[in-house]
């Protein structure tokens, strides 16, 4: 070892010797006056020394962890053995890893209680080795809950347990990336000064990560995951968009790095990372990923709705081999040609703000019109937030004012560059829009309409609060030039110049949960079945494909009181906000026949949301079956009612707050 304290037996002796020398004192005196070790810690360390080579690793692992737990408070306070205790703790942590690695071959992964016991020990040890470990602590709490509720062969138990493992894998991956970013630059700097070989330098941080407790925990998770998938009746694939295709295979690390590329031959991309921000490239007929985008995230919806035949699938077990047998005919590799979608350019109505009653298809987009349609038609237990809107053409009118003349000239110049193929200028256009000045008439009209609708007007916080609202409005307008939106329009042969952006303004419902419903199961195409996903906090973590999965369920339309959970939540974080206003993009380029445009443009909160690490261990949606069934049934029933009103399958977004259902958006399901 680099330092004698890292070697376990030496480290134990370094700490036990002072304790043994103080045997003449009472226990309290030895601890408080001389800073020696408690009798419990001494007993644990003596056991570890005696049994460090045992084949039966269970008792040894327990004592290793108990020792670390006893040492923990000593490391947080002044202690005369501080250095020795620190090296002892490092040696014990290393022993947890090496002992677990040694015992892996003897573990029975088909016996969940045994595996969960060892995962518990390694997970607790990892908690003791990390800082800012709130996420790991919550997983540990949840893991003990799952361990105590184990039922052999129970699919729902397996789904809940697998969700915890999925979340742990996300945490371990994030921490590994973070450590590499922090450590590798120093390794490269010192390695070059010391003349160390390039291979050693390049793999230094990777090897350091592999030598920690996280690596052995990942090994346990990887081996236990297939067992849980079998009990939960899950296959190796999750097909998000089921269509038969074929093409040439191409591998990338991140899908977003190739979204601008045009593939001349039908291509199947294998992507390690799918963020949810991407537009699937031209010529791509399928995306396979080990990432876990939600079925109802915007990127998944766009995959199902694409003008060409495209599929998006999660792969949990992929084996590559040479293709043998017959050769596919070229015709099977050529995507079908879609009919062209057109945009109708909308004209400014002469007013900067409209009340809900004034919404028409000529002045606002489908989001606003659908809210108007639902209000007064749904039963009272389904609540629809009050809304006002800034209509089509308001942006162009404000931009044309003398006060924004210079900005208009700059944007016109940049648009020519973008139309010439320089998409890097899109960001400059968005930046220029954020510099626009607001006309007094817009402020006055919007104030009047919001007060008439009894919506909280942002002038209560003074100029600063109104400025935040104005910035949010401009961000929505600017999202017309989002790269993914511009590329999508070009691929769909839409005239980007004809795109107009209205802004739907709503009071934010600060809910406990957010949900998305598809009233026709998008995975099976079953019209008799509702499929929905639900997350804690704001819905952006769902539609934005934040890491981890949302809770999902299905419900038969003739039996809404018996929803079946198909996946439990593994999102690491939730988004929350104080009471505020949201400004939703509502363009004339969304919800068109054959082109959904889902998630291409931005909706912006006036006040920034707060990111919180989630604790599922006491979440009633996870631990209270009666509560879970009640909420999921209400969500499903709301979906069925809205589908009946429209007469066709619907894509619905909403919120659950104090058991009440709020619907904030509905559109035809693609």
pLDDT one-digit tens code per residue, 594-612: 676 677 899 999 988 999 9
Fold type of domain 508-572+614-670: D-amino Acid Aminotransferase; Chain A, domain 1 (3.30.470)
Spatial separation of the C-alpha atoms in residues 202 and 204, rounded to whole Å: 6
Check whether 253 has a pLDDT greater than 50.
yes
pLDDT of residue 648: 95
pLDDT of residue 322: 44
Summarize the confidence of residues 166-176 as an average pLDDT: 92
Residues near 113 by Cβ (< 8 Å), separated by ≥ 6?
147, 150
pLDDT of residue 28: 45
Where is pLDDT greater, at 182 or 492?
A: 182
Q: pLDDT > 90: what percent of the chain?
A: 63
Q: What share of the chain is helix, strand, coil (3-state, %, to 5)?
A: 50, 15, 35
Check whether 259 has a pLDDT greater than 50.
yes
pTM value is 0.84
pLDDT of residue 335: 43
Q: pLDDT > 70: what percent of the chain?
A: 85
Where is pLDDT greater, at 159 or 296?
A: 159
Residue 370 contacts residue 665 (beta carbons within 8 Å):
yes
Q: Are strands 660-668 and 382-383 parallel, antiparallel or unpaired?
A: parallel
pLDDT level of residue 331 (50, 70, 90 thresholds): very low
Question: What are the angstrom distances between the C-alpha of 433 and each of 392, 393, 473?
Answer: 16, 15, 10
- 656: phi then psi, degrees, rounded to nearest 5: -110, 125
pLDDT of residue 27: 46
pLDDT of residue 304: 60
Residue entry with tokens 């053995």: 81
Residue 303 contacts residue 240 (beta carbons within 8 Å):
yes
Where is pLDDT greater, at 353 or 547?
A: 353
For the chain, domain boundaries: 4-230, 237-318, 345-507+579-605, 508-572+614-670
Q: Which residues are catalytic?
A: 298
282 forms beta bridges with: 262
Summarize the confidence of residues 548-576 as an average pLDDT: 96
Spatial separation of the C-alpha atoms in residues 58 and 643, rounded to whole Å: 56
Check whether 88 has a pLDDT greater than 80.
yes
Which of 3.30.1490.20, 3.40.1030.10, 2.40.50.140, 3.40.50.2000 is the CATH number of 345-507+579-605? Answer: 3.30.1490.20
pLDDT of residue 18: 62
Summarize the confidence of residues 394-411 as an average pLDDT: 97
Least confident of 98-112, 142-156, 265-279, 452-466: 452-466
Q: What is the tens place of the pLDDT at every residue in 24-79?
A: 444 444 444 335 689 999 999 999 999 998 999 999 999 999 999 999 999 998 88
503 forms beta bridges with: 390, 585
pLDDT of residue 264: 81
pLDDT level of residue 329 (50, 70, 90 thresholds): very low
Q: What is the tens place of the pLDDT at every residue in 510-532?
A: 899 999 999 999 988 899 999 99
Neighbour count for residue 233 (Cβ, 10 Å): 10
Residue 216 contacts residue 235 (beta carbons within 8 Å):
no
């Amino acid at each position: 070892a680099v330092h004698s304290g890292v070697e376990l037996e030496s480290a134990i002796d370094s700490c036990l010797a002072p304790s043994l020398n103080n045997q003449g004192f009472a226990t309290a005196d030895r601890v408080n006056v001389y800073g020696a070790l408690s009798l419990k810690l001494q007993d644990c360390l003596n056991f570890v020394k005696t049994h460090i080579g045992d084949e039966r690793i269970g008792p040894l692992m327990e004592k290793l962890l108990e020792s670390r737990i006893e040492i923990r408070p000593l490391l947080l306070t002044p202690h005369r053995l501080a250095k020795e205790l620190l090296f002892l703790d490092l040696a014990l942590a290393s022993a947890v890893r090496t002992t677990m690695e040694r015992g892996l071959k003897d573990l029975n992964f088909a016996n969940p209680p045994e595996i969960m016991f060892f995962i518990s020990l390694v997970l607790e040890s990892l908690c003791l080795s990390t800082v800012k470990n709130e996420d790991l602590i919550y997983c540990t709490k949840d893991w003990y809950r799952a361990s105590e509720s184990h039922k052999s062969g129970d699919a729902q138990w397996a789904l809940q347990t697998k969700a915890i493992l999925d979340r742990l894998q996300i945490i371990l991956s994030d921490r590994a990336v973070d450590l590499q970013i922090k450590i590798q630059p120093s390794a490269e700097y010192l390695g070059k000064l010391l003349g160390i070989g390039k291979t050693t330098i390049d793999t230094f941080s990777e090897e350091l990560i592999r030598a920690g407790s996280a690596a052995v925990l990942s090994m346990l998770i990887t081996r236990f995951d297939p067992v849980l998938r079998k009990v939960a009746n899950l296959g190796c694939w999750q097909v998000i968009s089921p269509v038969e295709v074929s093409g040439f295979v191409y591998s990338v690390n991140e899908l977003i790095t190739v979204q601008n590329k045009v593939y001349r031959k039908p291509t199947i991309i294998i992507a390690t990372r799918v963020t949810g921000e991407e537009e699937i490239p031209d010529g791509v007929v399928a995306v396979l990923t080990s990432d876990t985008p939600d079925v109802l995230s915007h990127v998944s919806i766009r995959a199902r709705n694409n003008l060409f035949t495209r599929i998006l699938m999660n792969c949990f077990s992929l084996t590559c081999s040479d293709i043998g047998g017959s050769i596919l005919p070229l015709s099977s590799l050529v995507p079908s040609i879609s009919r062209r979608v057109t945009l109708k350019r909308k004209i400014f109505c002469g007013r900067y703000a409209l009340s809900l009653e004034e919404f028409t298809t000529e002045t606002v987009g489908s989001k606003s019109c659908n809210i108007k349609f639902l209000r007064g038609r749904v039963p009272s237990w389904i609540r629809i937030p009050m809304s006002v809107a800034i209509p089509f053409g308001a942006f162009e009118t404000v931009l044309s004012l003398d006060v924004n003349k210079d900005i208009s000239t700059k944007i016109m110049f940049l648009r020519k560059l973008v139309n010439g193929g320089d998409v890097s200028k899109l960001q400059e256009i968005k930046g220029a829009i954020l510099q626009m000045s607001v006309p007094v008439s817009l402020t006055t009209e919007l104030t009047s309409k919001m007060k008439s609708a009894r919506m909280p007007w942002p002038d209560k916080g003074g100029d600063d609060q109104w400025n935040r609202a104005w910035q949010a409005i401009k961000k929505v307008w600017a999202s017309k030039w989002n790269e993914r939106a511009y590329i999508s329009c070009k691929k769909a042969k839409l005239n980007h110049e004809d795109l107009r952006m209205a802004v739907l303004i709503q009071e934010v419902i600060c809910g406990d949960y957010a949900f998305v419903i598809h009233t026709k199961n998008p995975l099976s195409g079953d019209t008799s079945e509702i499929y929905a996903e639900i997350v804690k906090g704001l819905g952006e973590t769902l539609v934005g494909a934040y890491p981890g999965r949302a809770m999902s369920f299905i419900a038969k339309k003739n039996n809404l009181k018996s929803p079946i959970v198909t996946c439990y939540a593994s999102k690491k974080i939730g988004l929350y906000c104080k009471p505020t206003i949201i400004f939703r993009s509502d363009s004339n380029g969304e919800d068109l026949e054959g082109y959904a445009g889902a998630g291409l443009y931005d909706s912006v909160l006036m006040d920034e949301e707060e990111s919180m690490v989630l604790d599922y261990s006491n979440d009633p949606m996870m631990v209270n079956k009666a509560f879970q069934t009640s909420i999921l049934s209400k969500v499903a029933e709301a979906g069925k009612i809205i589908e009946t009103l429209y007469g066709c399958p619907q894509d619905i977004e909403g919120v659950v707050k104090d058991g009440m259902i709020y619907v904030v958006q509905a559109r035809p399901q693609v």
